[in-house]
Amino acid sequence: MVELLPGDPAPDAELKSLSGESVRLSEFAGRWLLLVFHRHLM
């Protein structure tokens, strides 16, 4: 795990969107982005 301090750039990561598409954090470079993580119960 990478230790980040306030103001450090976020490391690039790849996540799945709600529609199942792969999305990379770097695709949003230079723009504001809100990530919402939630626990999904099956």
Q: What is the 3-state secondary structure (H, E, C) of 1-42?
A: CCCCCCCCCCCCCEEECCCCCEEEHHHHCCCCCCCCCCCCCC
**Which two three-digit tokens encode residue 36?**
């919402």
Res 42: pLDDT: 57
pLDDT tens profile 1-42: 778 899 898 889 998 888 999 999 999 988 998 888 777 765
Res 41: pLDDT: 62
Global pTM value: 0.58
Res 36: pLDDT: 80
**Which two three-digit tokens encode residue 6?**
């306030």
